Amino acid sequence: MKTLKKRISEKFENEKGIYKWNAEADDWEKVDDSTTAATFRFMVEGKNAEISFYDVTFKDATHQDAESDMVSELPTSIKAYVKYDNNIITSLSLIAQWNDDDTPKSIVEEVTLEAYSFSSELINTTSKVSASATLKHNEKVIYANGFKLEGDFDYEKIEAILSDKEDDMNGLYGQTILENTNIWFQLGNIKIEGAFDIKGFMEDMADKAQNSAGAGESDDMKNVLIDLFNDNATLIVRYADSQEIIAKGELYMAEHTNGDETKTKPAMRMVFGDGSKVSVDEFFKNGFGDMVKEIEDLFKELKTSYGDEAA
């Protein structure tokens, strides 16, 4: 007789209900039914407390271990919270979708602890790969970062190209795999964003090469590349709440003198709304007074909520 395999989802189904801690029996006592949650109620220092797990769902994984006595399942939803004195003090939410090969297609997660929240998101499809994370206090961003890649991520095609020794890397370069990239970083209300239109850059570069009479001078080629980068890449520093731009990045040919010799080479500078310009080094070294103030205000708020002033 074939033994039926066990499931985590079935175990949760069997545990659904509302339970109350029975101190005399030193065990949980089921006091009511529930179709969605497993909730456990108890007393802490004379006040009501409870832990609840709800909206817990799974899907069968595509790949199963024939030797295992468990069915391989992937979570599609898990939610939980802890209450004390009728106030939620911490919570968890996870929503997931899965590709046919059991890799994550998207995962959205959020964890809260009193006034704090941490959220993250992962997306993995054949046209987009991205990840982001955000830490907040009282709905104000403390820290956030993320990236996004867009293109044609056909991994079987990429693997076939890379495994073709005769084709070497030329076949890979000929494919439109990565089209756009974005990356961002936020601290307080200051956000730094970078983007690169790779497809546009490659098309513009191919067009320039096709219409060029020859290789040209070294400095001329550098200027061409700088123009291409400035047309297809951006670096922006802005206020996150108002989206007001503080400064934009710009590539240019900078002069460098060494003794009697002066050379030019590509460098980055930041351009403000009034047209004034400073080097990237100077901007990030001396021009971040607003970010410093954001950090100072944040620590003052945290001290008020959790430090000596809150006592």
Query: Which pLDDT value is given to residue 40?
Result: 97
Task: Point out which residues pair with 106 in neighbouring strands.
Answer: 97, 123
- Report phi then psi at 301, rounded to 5: -65, -40
304: tokens are: 């008020």
Give the CA count within 13 Å in the CB-facing half-sphere of 305.
Answer: 11
Query: Which of the residues in the chain have pLDDT under 70?
Result: 1-4, 155, 157-176, 212-219, 287-295, 298-299, 301-303, 305-311
How far apart are alpha carbons 109 and 87 in whole angstroms? 21
Question: Could you read off the pLDDT of 11-39 as tens digits, one per residue?
Answer: 999 999 999 999 999 999 999 999 999 99
- Confidence at residue 202, expressed as pLDDT on a 0 to 100 scale: 86
The conformation of residue 240, written as its DSSP 8-state character, comes to T
